[in-house]
Amino acid sequence: MRQSLASRNLRWLFTLLLILPLLVRAQEPLPSWKDGPSRQAIEAFVSAVTKEGGKDYVPPAERIAVFDNDGTLWSEQPMYFEVLFALDEVKRLAPQHPEWKEQQPFKAVLEGDQKALAESGTEGLMKIIGATHSGMSTEQFIEQSQGWLAKAVHPRSKKPYTEMVYQPMLELLAYLRANGFRTYIVSGGEVAFMRAFAEEVYGIPPEQVIGTTFESQFQDKDGQLSIQRLPKLAHNDDGPGKPVSIDTIIGRRPIFAFGNSDGDLQMLQWTMAGNGKRFAGLVHHTDATREWAYDRESKIGRLDKALDAAKAGNWTVVDMAGEWSRVYPFENN
């Protein structure tokens, strides 16, 4: 009996020794971040600003964290996902617009003429965005966006776009919120499109999603009240537009900011220019195997001036290939 009891105790001890590392791992706040310079910098910053009585302590009301979306919270290759949505919307709406068969850039979209579409440039893209993002109520547009997200899949992974999010960044958002931060999206993406999925995917409510906006107007049509979206840009929330939005909507300068491209440079600069301890981070796309590798020469998510600023300012630059053990939630860790 004693030997049997001792044998069982040894087996329990052996099992405990096996699972203990897994239990410890499960309790780590950033399990998909390798123990490297980026993770250490994040944890050191959070520890410093949340330690009551410490010289760098920041009250919870002032713990504002802002994140770009495309290329920072989810992938942005081979094209911004919202643009892919807009192209699909042109095809869906085409029967209602027979004139598009002869009008560029819609003609290029319908014929799959990538060369002509590229030649239409920013002006052509804005025509597509304007035609597919306006002329309806905000509720209708969000419903269209959610319908597309529910069925569309990424051309390479064949996964829903809402699964092309970065597992390490989901963990970072949760880690910050657990430490009293309010997390905001501040993106060049259109605000209603992002609000269609941000709360479900990122845990960020609509009122904390800031983006590019169209002009709109209140409408009372036979007692049916709505906010109608007009085909005119009200604010471009990219580059210098991001600090303007932060100042206008949040009303507090962030102490923590993350981006991935030159479009985020001014937001990072604005964050770091404030008083007290601050954090600026860049996701550097260095993983051609699990994601994509691109920076200075990329037409999508170009990281050039911001990379130089990060090196000069000693900001945190995350080496995706070297510092993330997992990129997407659907990967095996």
Q: Which long-range contacts (CB under 8 A, 24 or more apart) does 191-197 make?
A: 191/237, 192/133, 192/138, 192/141, 192/142, 192/145, 192/229, 193/82, 193/85, 193/133, 193/141, 193/145, 194/69, 195/142, 196/142, 196/145, 196/146, 196/149, 197/145, 197/146, 197/149, 197/162
pLDDT score, position 15: 52
pLDDT score, position 22: 45
pLDDT score, position 27: 72
Average pLDDT over residues 308-328: 98
The yes-or-no verdict on residue 9 having pLDDT over 60 is: no
Alpha-helix residue ranges (DSSP H) falling in the chain: 2-27, 37-50, 81-93, 106-111, 114-119, 121-133, 138-151, 167-178, 191-195, 198-202, 241-245, 265-272, 305-313, 320-323
Task: Indicate the class that CATH gives domain 29-77+160-323.
Answer: alpha beta
pLDDT score, position 238: 98
pLDDT bucket at 12, cuts 50 / 70 / 90: low
Percentage of the chain surpassing pLDDT 90? 91
The yes-or-no verdict on residue 242 having pLDDT over 70 is: yes
Which range among 5-14, 182-191, 302-311 shows the weakest confidence by mean pLDDT? 5-14
Placement of tokens 């911001």 in the chain: 306
pLDDT bucket at 129, cuts 50 / 70 / 90: very high
The yes-or-no verdict on residue 301 having pLDDT over 50 is: yes
Tell me the per-residue pLDDT of 23-38, one tens digit each, with 9 for 90 and over: 444 478 999 999 999 9
pLDDT score, position 25: 46
The yes-or-no verdict on residue 69 having pLDDT over 90 is: yes
Average pLDDT over residues 237-264: 98
Is residue 266 within 8 Å of 240, Cβ to Cβ? yes
Question: What Cα–Cα distance (Å) separates residue 135 from each residue in 106, 294, 332?
Answer: 17, 36, 43
Question: What Cα–Cα distance (Å) separates residue 102 from each residue in 22, 54, 91, 94, 210?
Answer: 61, 66, 14, 11, 36
- Give the distance between the most distant pair of CA atoms in the chain: 90
Average pLDDT over residues 75-92: 98
Cα 168 to Cα 164: distance, rounded to the nearest angstrom: 12
Tell me the per-residue pLDDT of 149-199, one tens digit each, with 9 for 90 and over: 999 999 999 999 999 999 999 999 999 999 999 999 999 999 999 999 999
Angle between helices 81-93 and 138-151 (to 10 degrees): 100
The yes-or-no verdict on residue 18 having pLDDT over 90 is: no
pLDDT score, position 332: 78
pLDDT score, position 28: 86
Is residue 79 within 8 Å of 298, Cβ to Cβ? no
The yes-or-no verdict on residue 210 having pLDDT over 60 is: yes
- Supply angle C-alpha 267, 270, 272, rounded to 5: 110
Placement of tokens 């643009």 in the chain: 83
* Closest CA relative to residue 290, chosen from 154, 201, 157: 157
pLDDT score, position 201: 98
Tell me the per-residue pLDDT of 100-128, one tens digit each, with 9 for 90 and over: 999 999 999 999 999 999 999 999 999 99
pTM of the model: 0.91
The yes-or-no verdict on residue 75 having pLDDT over 70 is: yes
pLDDT score, position 36: 97
Cα 206 to Cα 184: distance, rounded to the nearest angstrom: 9
pLDDT bucket at 20, cuts 50 / 70 / 90: very low
